[in-house]
Structure 1
Amino acid sequence: MKTTTNIAVDIGNSAIKLALSTEEIIHEKSLPLVESDWQISAAQWALSHSDDQPLAWHIASVHPQATKTLTDHLGTNFPAAKVKLMTWCDVPMEPNVDEPDRLGIDRLISAYAATLQSEPPLVVVDAGSAITVDMVTADRKFQGGAILPGLGMQFASLAKGTASLPLLDSRHKKPHYPAKNTEDAIFSGVLTAAIAAIDLLIAKYGNHVNIAKEDVPVVLTGGDAPFLSPHLQHNHERIDNLVCRGILGLQS
């Protein structure tokens, strides 16, 4: 009997990330949702790493339309594949929030995955299309957190909401204080706002559990993590593809 290969899928607002583990090696792939036929590329990538084993797709998504695109493709072309849409009930971590059904599954799985790396209490920062800063207490309960616009969303908002400001197309810049041109001023302002918000939230969460801010473990993930990491005041561990790693951890 063939062993099933578990495919971890994290569908965000702008990209789909996939991961699977073979012989203790984790293979990972990211595809932008604006890419033509991304669902075909995702399925082909998974098949190429499955060693001809049956596939079981474990999907955590915050993008309903993209989820339908992928599941429709799998159902039509791979009817034997197992497909599971994950909910908070699949995660062994109690969400201490007002409406668990409305909690982004990516936030809860990231928090669970972070506890596999560090002992709580801890803070998880996911810097994607939106930036989330969430808290897990020592009793391993997800306590909620904060959501703010990601770097790209802030850049786009400034360009769309003003008559003259350009849309920045690169994050490969350094902040300048004070900045001497419009592009540097936008980048410096947006980056500094995000960093200041994250650092302040970490400090406030530390106060919530009576721990000095410098002693709060912080896990940083997300597509913009490489750009934020050098500027954060708090010590942190950067772990890429945290949601997919959490999904794989749940299947082991």
Structure 2
Amino acid sequence: MSQPVCRIALDIGNSAAKVLIEPVADASGQSVPQLQSASFLFAAQTEGQGDWTDQLCRWVAKCLSPNEAMSPNEALSPNAALSVSDPVSIRWWVSTVNHRASEQLKRFLADQQGPRSDSCESGLLRKLMSASSFDDCWREISYRDIPLQLHVDRPQRVGIDRLLGAYGAANRFGAPVMVVDAGSAMTLDLVTQGASQRSDSADASDTAGQFAFCGGAILPGLRMQQSALAAGAEALANFGSLALSGEGPSQRGADAGFPSAAAVPALGPARDTRSAIQLGVQAATVGGVTWLWQKYRENLQQATSGPKIPELPIVITGGDGTEISAYLGQCHELVPNLVCFALLDLARSATV
């Protein structure tokens, strides 16, 4: 009888690692309904808290162990049936645009198989990972693994998070769809229905999957815009590291300081420097999303020669997705951890 598998989706970005864990109840492959998620900054959030790799492993171990005490800020155990004594294999499905960070975690995880390793709070993770070789546990996804037609010039140079976001959004909402990933940089990509399969194609990436990734745009993220203002204008230097609000996914440690979305004038003008920066970043970001959404719709109309501009749903994800969602006028879907969900889609399929 084969061992049940615990799938862990890991999205390693420029500033944080996002984790989504989906334990499997038994060897038949039936998944536990609940998913547990967490985000870990690459720098320790508070002094003395320890390295992010150790924090991540402790969190995973606690999620899988019903006997481990969880703090109020941690997820509850997703499956009481799993315990330290159960023979379970962990499979890490990994998307990374930050190879230095992913290699750091990969080395840390490989070390957990050693008999002398005691860096994790619980021995559960080491025990689970010892069920098979580490090479079998770690699967880092490339563009070739994603069942999308890639209508771009150099698919190998497109961020893997963009391709996975496109794949995950199309799986859930169909195509065409516009995917906005609001991270350190903000990407705005278009996904359409794919062309008919062509057996004479020289590049398999041209014909893989029913959906087509058509490329998109890259804008500075919210904090990158603030940093640019701070670097270019001496009078604004003191405001460059402030977060857009003091709550929600966009908060970065102790750098909160801007008023919440509801407190900023919707139409302006702002009456103090902090609100003026907030309003300017809001206008640039939401204006960029809206303008590109309109252009993508016009391009779709030209491509299809239809009588009217087609509908184009918007899917928003990323660490600052909640901030973008609060201001965007168009109807949209907010899907946190979209890249992680796409990784789990791949893990459940036979395409990888």
8 Å contact kept, 2:175–2:193:
yes
- Show the counterpart of 2:67: none
1:168 is displaced (CA, Å) by 4.8
Work out the percentage of aligned pairs sharing the same amino acid: 34
1:194 pairs, out of 279, 285, 288, with 285
1:169 pairs, out of 224, 242, 247, with 242
8 Å contact kept, 2:300–2:310:
no
The answer as to 2:290 corresponding to 1:219 is: no
- Show the counterpart of 1:92: 147
The answer as to 2:38 corresponding to 1:38 is: no
8 Å contact kept, 2:93–2:347:
no
2:193 pairs, out of 138, 159, 166, with 138
1:44 is displaced (CA, Å) by 2.1
| Runs (5+) with no aligned partner, structure 1 | none
Partners of 1:213 and 1:251 in 2: CA distance: 36
User: Given the superposition, is the C-alpha separation of residues 213 and 123 from structure 1 closer, same or farther in structure 2, using an over 3 Å criterion?
Assistant: farther
The answer as to 2:225 corresponding to 1:154 is: yes
User: The residue matched to 2:242 in structure 1 has which SS?
Assistant: coil
Deviations 1:116-152 (A, max 9, x none): 2111011000111111000001221000000000001
User: The residue matched to 1:164 in structure 2 has which SS?
Assistant: helix
1:214 is displaced (CA, Å) by 7.7
Alignment root-mean-square deviation, CA:
1.6
| Runs (5+) with no aligned partner, structure 2 | 24-31, 45-49, 65-81, 114-129, 195-210, 246-258
The answer as to 2:95 corresponding to 1:60 is: yes
1:108 is displaced (CA, Å) by 0.4
Q: TM-score, normalization: structure 2?
A: 0.69
- Show the counterpart of 2:176: 121
1:170 is displaced (CA, Å) by 2.9
Deviations 1:50-70 (A, max 9, x none): 435211111100001101101
Partners of 1:158 and 1:57 in 2: CA distance: 39
User: The residue matched to 2:225 in structure 1 has which SS?
Assistant: helix
Deviations 1:212-249 (A, max 9, x none): 66821111111111111121121101111000011011
Judge which range, 30-39 or 99-108, deviates more: 30-39
Q: Where is the strand percentage greater, Structure 1 or Structure 2?
A: 1
Q: Which has the larger radius of gyration?
A: 2
Which structure ranks higher in relative contact order (CA pairs < 8 Å, sequence separation ≥ 6)?
Answer: 1
- Show the counterpart of 2:250: none
Aligned residues: 252
8 Å contact kept, 1:5–1:20:
yes
The answer as to 2:98 corresponding to 1:27 is: no
The answer as to 2:346 corresponding to 1:250 is: yes
Q: TM-score, normalization: structure 1?
A: 0.95
8 Å contact kept, 2:93–2:139:
yes
Paired residue type of 1:25: Q
8 Å contact kept, 1:17–1:31:
yes
1:160 is displaced (CA, Å) by 2.0
8 Å contact kept, 2:9–2:94:
yes
